[in-house]
Structure 1
Amino acid sequence: MSAASVSRLSLRFRVSAAFGLGLLVVVSVLSAATWHLATDYLLNQRQQSADRHARINARLVENEVRDRTDGLGELLSGLTSGPNSTILVSLPGGWHTAGRPIGPADLPPGLLSRTRPGAPAHDRFTADGVPVLVVAQQLAKSKGYYVELHPLLGLERTFRKLRMILVAGTVTCGLFGVVLGAWAARRALRPLAAFTETAARIARGDMRARLPEQAGPDLAPLAATFNATADALERRVRRDARFAADVSHELRSPLTTMTTVAEVLERRRDAMPAPAQKALQLLLAELHRFRGMVLDLLEISAVDQADNGEERELVDLGSLVRSGVASSPAPRPALELPSEPLLVAADRRRLDRVLANLLDNAARYGGGAVRVAAHACHGVVRLEVDDAGDGVPAELRERIFERFSRGVHAGRRDPGSGTGLGLAIVADHVYRHEGRVWAEGRPGGGARFVVELPQAHG
């Protein structure tokens, strides 16, 4: 997996995977060590027992051979320890066997050559499907060899059970590490989630959002610093809002006077020479645009004031859309509204302004609204306004909701170009209602502006 792919994984997933992998590696090492120690110990014990057994049996065989050889077969049959054991004795006269039929040719190559007086040779192999431990010992007095095959079926079953237990324990510990990592990551990232949510609320315009006080010595300074930064930002925003409101209020009086004088001159326009008429027309257009900007600035300053929710009420979005479209001066678009109420807890005046600004934006830049729809889906009420324009380029779909941003129409100065505050007011009002707004392409061409608000229940 590349570094870019790893960086796209969530931190919680990476912590969980690290816990699981780390515990899996540690337990795997311990399981491997346990396996080797246990198997070596059991095999050594089995080998020592086989050596003692072979040493005693070899002595009995030598005593029997020294006295007589006609009873050797009966002795070897009595020395076999089970149906799967085998005894082979090599004497100058040939091989003698007892127990399961295993011939000298089936023994591991070089086994007898590795024996020394008092030092038996050992080996493990599979004889006719049965794992065995073979012990070969020299018969010094008889100048031969004593070979005994001990079955390891019981030991193999023990090894198989031990292997299953170790593998199951290793896998279980790995899964437990993943669960433990997920739990630890969730607890460790809980303050980060609170930080993200608070920062998102501030970004949406909720200047009152703060982090809760943290008891931990590591998180307490972070929470205190973040809250202090948020306090300073709130004071700055409030100060700027008051400044914008004061300036807008101060501009209203001279602007009203200039507009009144311009309208008086407009009524006497026919008595003016052509250059003065053109200048008056330009003056009126700029005054109307300036007046719209001042009203928008007043609206922005009102948006930036604290919203305590006291002006909110249950509003039927469908009814609001019908009345808003009916009162709009633009051509009436097609309406797609359900028969049941679409209730939201909102400030009706602000929702009216949201719809009016979206319709005005469609009329100014999108060739007019062609469809307005509203419906409820998954706990939210969705409002859609489609226009007949060329659509909004993907790289501008977020920027057009910024203040004084007019997208591809930023260079226009004609009377109908707008001030660049309409969609910013829409975004501010929607965020004040814990909602979302965005622009996307309309199927068939044009732009679609979507507003989502939390659904309320009456």
Structure 2
Amino acid sequence: MSNVVKRSLLTGLRWTSLRLRLVVVFALVALTAAVSASGIAYWLNREAVLTRTQDSALGDFRQEMQGRAASLPLHPTRDDLQNAAVQMASSSPGYSVLLVDERDTGKPIVGNSDLDTFTLDNVPVSLQKAVDKKQPLEAGNKYEYHLFWQRTSIRGTPYLVGGTKIIGGGPTGYMLKSLDQERQDLNSLAWSLGIATGLALIGSALLAQAAATTVLRPVQRLGDAARKLGEGKLDTRLVVSGTDELADLSRTFNRTASSLEKRVADMSARDEASRRFVADMSHELRTPLTALTAVTEVLEDEADSLDPMIAPAVHLVVSETRRLNDLVENLMEVTRFDAGTARLVLDTVDVADQVTACIDARAWLDAVDLDAERGMMVRLDPRRLDVILANLIGNALKHGGSPVRVAVRTEGDELVIEVRDHGPGIPEDVLPHVFDRFYKASASRPRSEGSGLGLSIAMENAHIHGGDITAANSPDGDGAVFVLRLPRDAEPLTRSADGQDAGDRHEEGDAT
């Protein structure tokens, strides 16, 4: 999977996650509000319904007890209690009545309106004790017996049970009122509130979706624009509409992009001017340098016959002229890399022969220990490989200690060349900068007489092959180690570079 596809998937996941968080937050807020409102509404309605039913039933029962039950004889018969209970129940439909009295001590008689529905066993014992308990008469209590009630469940059906005793002698009365209808009404109310809560939740999710879309669409456009800006498309701008915070953010982005584009254009212009200056200067210096080189060669040949006082000056002129010539050549090579005009000229070579030729051409055979098997064939640019090896081995000979060991091996599709010296190593603060242009090591190494471009040119030649160079100190503390890694076949790189050039030329043709 390509990096672009991965980045797109990750961006989509982040976008979806933010949208999901907004929807979840909206839904949770709506759910909390709806559940709270529904719970409060249900609780208030439940108390109102039950209290109204309860007060109505107990009020009727109290009146019947004061009217019919109180008018019974002092010692009523069972039939008297039965008739009174039936009349009390019939006068206020919806509940049953139970009357209890004693003809003799310990011999209760009972009369009820509905024997199958309401018996003394249905009255909670705690309620019977509360009804039979004689209350002390005080300033705040003028009656010996009070009306008590309790909600209970009989065979799964909710009931209201109330009871009181006739003051001054008379039967004890109990009433049983079914609350099943109220339960059904409250269940219907609960279902209605539940449906309302569900609809509120769905509505909040839809509103959250709409709000998320309204908020995230500009954010997504801003993210896409920022990604394009990061990819180098500095002319990217956002369409600004509205006056809210997102519009202000878009305006700020556009101003930032314009400023960045201007700065990059200025820097590119200055960089291009600098490269052109270096290239022109290097080119212009080649003609006088050619003449100077020819003269210094003549002077070098005649140095032995010159005055001993003049000979050192001649040798100095010769060495500095050669150094200046190398510097100009290196500068021209650097400008080719910067301008993107450097190209590979590939050939199939034996690595061992190539390394041997590089060492032999510079008379380093006695100072370099080569470990390379013949027959290791690779396809690369021999001239650029020679430049890389010359810089790495030359650097090891100048700053390290002999012998310099060069080991060549292959690892899969890579060619690995390791150059190791036996010097003091590279200071830790120098390691990150060894491939920087014009950078020279500290006093811990002898001061280089070079230009400071050799290792940077070696790195550029490795990169153009699709490879890399790393620098480190030997684990045993004996010298520095430079490792060159190149693909064994650089042909795909040249094809992709040629295709890119053709595409660039095609786009330029379309633009004109």
Tell me the TM-score normalised to structure 1 length.
Answer: 0.60
Residues 250-289 of structure 1 correspond to what in structure 2 (within 5 A)? 250-271=284-305, 276-289=310-323
Opposite residue 335 of structure 2, the aligned amino acid is S
Residues 184-223 of structure 1 correspond to what in structure 2 (within 5 A)? 187-198=221-232, 211=234, 213-214=236-237, 216-217=239-240, 218=251, 223=257
Cα offset, 1:28, TM superposition = 3.3
Contact (CA 8 Å) 2:148, 2:164: kept in 1 or not? no
Residues 21-420 of structure 1 correspond to what in structure 2 (within 5 A)? 24-59=24-59, 61-62=61-62, 65=65, 66-67=68-69, 103=126, 187-198=221-232, 211=234, 213-214=236-237, 216-217=239-240, 218=251, 223=257, 225-271=259-305, 276-307=310-341, 311=343, 319=349, 321-322=351-352, 324-329=354-359, 330=364, 331=368, 333-335=370-372, 350=384, 353-367=387-401, 368=404, 370-372=406-408, 375=411, 385-388=418-421, 389-408=423-442, 412-413=446-447, 417-420=449-452
Contact (CA 8 Å) 1:398, 1:438: kept in 2 or not? no
**1:456 match:** 492
**2:454 match:** 422
Contact (CA 8 Å) 1:383, 1:450: kept in 2 or not? yes
Opposite residue 454 of structure 2, the aligned amino acid is G
Other structure's SS at 2:452 match: coil
Query: Cα–Cα, structure 1 residues 401 and 50, in superposed 2: closer, same or farther, change >3 Å?
Result: same
Rounded to whole Å, the distance in 2 between the matches of 1:88 and 1:276 is 144
Q: Highest CA radius of gyration, 1 or 2?
A: 2
Rounded to whole Å, the distance in 1 between the matches of 2:328 and 2:255 is 42
Contact (CA 8 Å) 1:390, 1:447: kept in 2 or not? no
Query: Cα–Cα, structure 1 residues 290 and 402, in superposed 2: closer, same or farther, change >3 Å?
Result: same
Query: Cα–Cα, structure 1 residues 328 and 348, in superposed 2: closer, same or farther, change >3 Å?
Result: closer
Contact (CA 8 Å) 1:136, 1:146: kept in 2 or not? yes
Cα offset, 1:34, TM superposition = 1.4
Other structure's SS at 1:371 match: strand
Cα offset, 1:240, TM superposition = 1.9
Cα offset, 1:295, TM superposition = 1.2
| Deviation per residue, 1:108-136 (Å, 9 max, x gap) | xxxxxxxxxxxx99999x99xx9x99989
Rounded to whole Å, the distance in 2 between the matches of 1:327 and 1:340 is 15
Rounded to whole Å, the distance in 1 between the matches of 2:150 and 2:394 is 94
Query: Cα–Cα, structure 1 residues 395 and 301, in superposed 2: closer, same or farther, change >3 Å?
Result: same
Other structure's SS at 2:407 match: strand
Query: Cα–Cα, structure 1 residues 230 and 33, in superposed 2: closer, same or farther, change >3 Å?
Result: same
Rounded to whole Å, the distance in 2 between the matches of 1:89 and 1:363 is 120
Query: Cα–Cα, structure 1 residues 138 and 122, in superposed 2: closer, same or farther, change >3 Å?
Result: closer
Opposite residue 268 of structure 2, the aligned amino acid is E
Contact (CA 8 Å) 2:150, 2:162: kept in 1 or not? no
The CA RMSD measured in Å over matched residues stands at 6.2
Contact (CA 8 Å) 1:430, 1:436: kept in 2 or not? yes
Between the two proteins, the alignment pairs up a number of residues equal to 400
Rounded to whole Å, the distance in 1 between the matches of 2:97 and 2:121 is 7
Rounded to whole Å, the distance in 2 between the matches of 1:320 and 1:90 is 121
Rounded to whole Å, the distance in 1 between the matches of 2:377 and 2:191 is 72
Rounded to whole Å, the distance in 2 between the matches of 1:431 and 1:122 is 95
Contact (CA 8 Å) 1:371, 1:385: kept in 2 or not? yes
Rounded to whole Å, the distance in 2 between the matches of 1:262 and 1:137 is 131
**1:111 match:** none
**1:116 match:** none
Opposite residue 387 of structure 1, the aligned amino acid is R
Contact (CA 8 Å) 1:13, 1:182: kept in 2 or not? no
Opposite residue 194 of structure 1, the aligned amino acid is K
Query: Cα–Cα, structure 1 residues 339 and 285, in superposed 2: closer, same or farther, change >3 Å?
Result: closer
Structure with greater contact order relative to length (CA < 8 Å, sep ≥ 6): 1
Cα offset, 1:287, TM superposition = 3.0
Query: Cα–Cα, structure 1 residues 443 and 231, in superposed 2: closer, same or farther, change >3 Å?
Result: same
Cα offset, 1:296, TM superposition = 0.6
Other structure's SS at 1:291 match: helix
Query: Cα–Cα, structure 1 residues 140 and 49, in superposed 2: closer, same or farther, change >3 Å?
Result: farther
Other structure's SS at 2:58 match: helix
Cα offset, 1:299, TM superposition = 1.0
Cα offset, 1:252, TM superposition = 2.9
Other structure's SS at 2:437 match: coil
Rounded to whole Å, the distance in 2 between the matches of 1:384 and 1:123 is 97
Contact (CA 8 Å) 1:50, 1:135: kept in 2 or not? no
Query: Cα–Cα, structure 1 residues 255 and 323, in superposed 2: closer, same or farther, change >3 Å?
Result: same
Tell me the TM-score normalised to structure 2 length.
Answer: 0.54
Query: Cα–Cα, structure 1 residues 46 and 238, in superposed 2: closer, same or farther, change >3 Å?
Result: same
| Stretch moving more, 26-35 or 133-142 | 133-142
Contact (CA 8 Å) 1:392, 1:447: kept in 2 or not? no
